């Protein structure tokens, strides 16, 4: 090298030690051979240190761990699991990550899987179903040990792919006697009926409903209307708003119900398909000087954390999202590890948590 020229390999800020020469097998990724070379052991020994550390000495484990830390190597879990055909990865699909209603299930599922040595990746399909097929194709192609879905309505193509893949599938947050594979959830129809009966039992006779335009919310809405009519109410006003629902759409919905009230007068009770909608209805009622629950009873859905802290505190339908996540994890792990699942449909039910708003 002539004086003043630029070195071919400039100095590095990395810890002292021999330079790491990466194998360039197309991607330039650090390989297990790179780790083994830096640790001064054979590739098979490095593999044992990472996958079955009890088979190697403490000194070898330390050398390999140091090499991994210095190179940033991440094991190829798919390649390493080819013999057992297990990835120890579970994919979960929810309609949205912006709404908090599924958060408890996601957290519980993640924790329950981690306790059993599995990791979870999360996908967002939206409420229209247009993205689910492409998302499922990408997920199935990666052959996870299980797939957890929200709801039971999937396209015919999506359903065929799921059934043909041979991957354990758990559908959640819904109920049907004919799941793709396994299911843990509750009946949205029964929720709607129960809330109508509850409000009628409180002496409310002008029931109304505000719901998102997603299919599950619409089933709750329809069942609520039918139950109210069966209890003697001729017409049950409904306002449908885009999902995911928001506080703003709840405020606007109550405005439409109040301003559009006919000769029978405005509603004296509103069932909302989410707690966020209910919060919007409550906010608009207070802005209009409508007494809650004196003039208007409000019931939400989801029993989110803030529901008990509102003024007045919000009555809501409680879904045990944590139990859904834990049961879904048990289903997936049992099937992935070859254990029989005798009961494939679990109805966790629901409860109406009564508070001051009703």
Vertex 335 angle, CA 331 and 338, to 5°: 145
- Of residues 96 and 248, more confidence is placed in 248
Which 3 state secondary structure label does DSSP give 9? coil
- Of residues 126 and 298, more confidence is placed in 298
pLDDT band at 164 (very low <50, low <70, confident <90, very high): confident
Q: How many CB atoms lie within 10 A of CB 294?
A: 8
- Output the pTM of the full model: 0.77
Domain map (residue ranges) of the chain: 16-75, 89-186+322-349, 189-318
Task: Identify the pLDDT of residue 344.
Answer: 95
Q: What is the per-residue burial (b if ≥16 Cβ within 10 Å, else e) of 34-72?
A: bbbbbbebeeebbbbbbeeeeebeeebbebbeebbebbe
Q: What is the pLDDT of residues 9-19, one digit of tens each?
A: 444 444 444 44
pLDDT band at 154 (very low <50, low <70, confident <90, very high): confident
* Contact residues for 123 (Cβ-Cβ < 8 A; gap 6+): 91, 92, 93, 94, 135, 139
For residue 27, pLDDT over 80 is answered with no
- Of residues 263 and 73, more confidence is placed in 73
| CA distance linking residue 106 with residue 324, whole number of Å | 9
Least confident of 33-47, 117-131, 160-174: 117-131
For residue 207, pLDDT over 80 is answered with yes
Cα dihedral 108, 166, 164, 346, rounded to 10, equals -40
Query: What are the phi and psi torsion angles at 186 (to 5°)?
Result: -160, 170
Vertex 349 angle, CA 175 and 118, to 5°: 70
User: Cα 96 vs. chain centroid, distance in angstroms?
Assistant: 8
User: Cα 172 vs. chain centroid, distance in angstroms?
Assistant: 9
| CA distance linking residue 38 with residue 49, whole number of Å | 14
Rounded average pLDDT over 302-324:
97
Q: What is the pLDDT of residues 222-246, one digit of tens each?
A: 999 999 999 999 999 999 999 989 9
| CA distance linking residue 162 with residue 152, whole number of Å | 12
pLDDT band at 317 (very low <50, low <70, confident <90, very high): very high
- Of residues 13 and 105, more confidence is placed in 105
Most confident of 98-102, 196-200, 243-247: 196-200
Over the chain, what is the mean pLDDT?
Answer: 88
Which 3 state secondary structure label does DSSP give 353? strand
Instruction: Decide if 89-186+322-349 and 189-318 have a common fold.
Output: yes
Specify the DSSP element, H or E, that contains 183. Answer: strand 182-185
CATH 3.40.190.10 is right for the domain spanning 189-318? no
Fold classified for 16-75: 434 Repressor (Amino-terminal Domain) (1.10.260)
Residue 341 burial (C-beta neighbours within 10 Å; 0-12, 13-18, 19+): middle
Side-chain-side CA neighbours of residue 321 (13 Å): 20
pLDDT band at 24 (very low <50, low <70, confident <90, very high): very low
Report residue 238 as tokens.
């409904």
- DSSP letter for 101, please: G
For residue 81, pLDDT over 90 is answered with no
- DSSP letter for 308, please: G
Percent of the chain with pLDDT over 70: 87
Pick from 94, 64, 84: which is nearest to 243 by CA? 94
Can you identify the CATH homologous superfamily of domain 89-186+322-349? Answer: Response regulator (3.40.50.2300)
Report residue 318 as tokens.
């409680």
For residue 78, pLDDT over 60 is answered with no
Report residue 342 as tokens.
């005798």
- Of residues 129 and 135, more confidence is placed in 135
| CA distance linking residue 84 with residue 289, whole number of Å | 65
Specify the DSSP element, H or E, that contains 169. Answer: strand 169-172
Q: What is the pLDDT of residues 269-295, one digit of tens each?
A: 999 999 999 999 999 999 999 999 999
Q: Strands 238-241 and 207-212: what pairing?
A: parallel
């Amino acid at each position: 090298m002539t004086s003043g020229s630029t070195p071919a390999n400039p100095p590095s800020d990395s810890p002292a030690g021999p330079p790491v020469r990466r194998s360039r097998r197309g991607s330039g990724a650090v390989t297990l051979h790179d780790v083994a070379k830096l640790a001064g052991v054979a590739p098979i020994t490095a593999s044992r240190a990472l996958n079955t550390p009890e088979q190697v000495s403490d000194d070898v484990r330390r050398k390999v761990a140091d090499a991994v830390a210095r190179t940033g190597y991440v094991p190829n879990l798919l390649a390493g699991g080819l013999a057992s055909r297990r990835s120890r990865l579970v994919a979960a699909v929810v309609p949205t990550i912006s709404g908090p209603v599924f958060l408890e299930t996601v957290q519980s599922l993640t924790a329950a899987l981690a306790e059993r040595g599995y990791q979870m990746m999360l996908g967002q399909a939206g409420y229209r179903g247009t993205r689910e097929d492409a998302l499922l194709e990408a997920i199935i192609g990666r052959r996870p040990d299980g797939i957890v879905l929200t709801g039971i309505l999937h396209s015919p193509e999506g359903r065929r792919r799921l059934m043909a893949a041979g991957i354990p599938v758990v559908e959640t947050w819904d109920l049907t006697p004919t799941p793709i594979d396994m299911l843990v959830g509750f009946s949205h129809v029964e929720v709607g009926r129960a809330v109508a009966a509850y409000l009628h039992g409180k002496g409310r006779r002008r029931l109304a409903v505000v719901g998102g335009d997603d299919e599950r919310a619409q089933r709750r809405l329809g069942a609520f209307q039918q139950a109210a009519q069966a209890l003697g109410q001729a017409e049950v006003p409904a306002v449908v708003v885009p999902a995911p629902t928001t506080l703003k759409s709840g405020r606007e919905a109550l405005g439409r119900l109040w301003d559009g009230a006919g000769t029978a007068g405005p509603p004296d009770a509103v069932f909302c398909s989410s707690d966020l909608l209910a919060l919007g209805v409550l906010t608009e009622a207070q802005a209009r000087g409508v007494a809650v629950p004196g003039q208007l009873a409000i019931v939400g859905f989801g029993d989110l954390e803030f529901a008990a802290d509102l003024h007045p505190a919000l009555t809501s339908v409680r879904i045990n999202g944590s139990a859904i996540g834990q049961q879904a994890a048990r289903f997936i792990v049992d099937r992935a590890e070859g254990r029989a699942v005798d009961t494939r449909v679990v109805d966790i039910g629901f409860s109406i948590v009564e508070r001051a708003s009703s």
